[in-house]
Each structure stands twice: as structure tokens, then as C-alpha cells.
Chains A and B, each alone.
Chain A
Amino acid sequence: DQQVKQNSPSLSVQEGRISILNCDYTNSMFDYFLWYKKYPAEGPTFLISISSIKDKNEDGRFTVFLNKSAKHLSLHIVPSQPGDSAVYFCAMETSGSRLTFGEGTQLTVNP
């Protein structure tokens, strides 16, 4: 039973436009939500996070939105840059540092 789903395996966006990555979850016990970015041959790197008591968190070009009633998490990147091309994983956490990852979305930003 997959608790965290990223339904789009890939997304292609033009440079300068907005990239929107989505993630749905089923476990209402998740209380912390994170996005990681992964380049080939590297480990995932932390990007941005949000706790369950908030609905938006912004850091520069990256904004994470949480809709708890819909159990939906999204990441907005604007403006998108070619260097943003990577695999993006959403991850969710309950107590004890158990991170559950989505399957990832390959973002390609075209110049």
C-alpha cells in the first residue's frame, strides 16, 4: 500500500516558467513534509519543508503548499532554471524520523 504518490513520473517546463510538482498521501498521521532533489550519481539533497500546522512555506524560488484536507502537497518553482533539472522526491514523516518517500518526478527545464 503506497502511502505517498507522485503521479507524474516526468515533467518538462520551459526556462523562466513555473514548475509545479505534486504529491498525494493517504496517511493522516504524517506531520512533517519535505521535498528532496536528486541529481544523477548523487544522494538526495534537502530542498524545503513544511510542518502540518502550516499551509505554505517559501524559500526564494521554491514554495511548498500543503492542503491537509485534500492530503495534497505541491512544490512550485518559479522561475524555473535549467539547473533545476533533477528528480524531485516528496517525503513525509511521522514520529521517530521515519521518512516515507514518493516515487519521484523527473523535472526537465528546457533552455
Chain B
Amino acid sequence: DTEVTQTPKHLVMGMTNKKSLKCEQHMGHRAMYWYKQKAKKPPELMFVYSYEKLSINESVPSRFSPECPNSSLLNLHLHALQPEDSALYLCASSHMASVGGELFFGEGSRLTVL
């Protein structure tokens, strides 16, 4: 199993809603990532979890709250988002959070904030 599975594939939410994006991998990877990608732009790193602990937060606003319940799961909790937060949110995993580690990406969750 070399897949990273993300749900939901599409999400529409209002600015007052609370929702969550989910990501799952069963490759035994110990590093998991959230990236954000706007249209015609490259993916931008948001968070890195290494061994279920948050190791990198790229100054992401607190309306985005990551959670790593176990080594296979990664969530991104969303609250009070803005329309400019509409984007494709990509989850990725790698064997370890170290230089040269190949990242495996999910298909992404496309978020629209109204």
C-alpha cells in the first residue's frame, strides 16, 4: 500500500463553520505533512509532524489546527476561515522527516470558503 488517502476530496464551508480534513497512510511513515496549493502556484508547506509530534509550523494562522492522533493519521481542523483560504490542501508522508526523503502525496482536499 503506497497510498496517502485524503478525505473529503471536496469541501465547501462558510466562514463560521468548523470542519476537518483527514489524511491516512499505512506505509509505516513517521513523518506527515500538510501543504497548501493555490491555483497556478506551487505547494507551500504548512506543518510537519515527526513521530507524531509537531516539528514545523510555517507561521500558519491559528484558524488552522493540525492534529496527529497516531502515526497513520493526520487531521487539519478548520475554524473561522476566510475566503482567501480556499485552496487545495495536500497531505504527504515520508519515511522520516530528514533531508532526501521522498514525499508521497495524497490527491488533495479542495476547499472552498464562502
Contacts and interface: CB of A to CB of B under 8 A. Distances in A.
Interface in A61-111: 89, 93-104
B66 interface: no
Closest 7 CB pairs of A and B: A43-B105, A101-B42, A97-B97, A46-B102, A32-B100, A44-B105, A43-B107
* Residues of B in contact with A, size category: 20 to 34
A41 B106 CA distance: 10
Given A93-B100, A97-B94, A100-B45, 10 more contacts: A4-B42, A43-B4, A43-B108, A46-B104, A49-B100, A89-B43, A93-B99, A96-B48, A101-B43, A102-B42
Contacts of B12: none
Interface residues of A, number: 26
Contacts of B108: 43
B103 interface: yes
Contact of B98 (A41, A42, A97): A97
Contacts of B94: 97
A97 B106 contact: no
Nearest to A96: B56
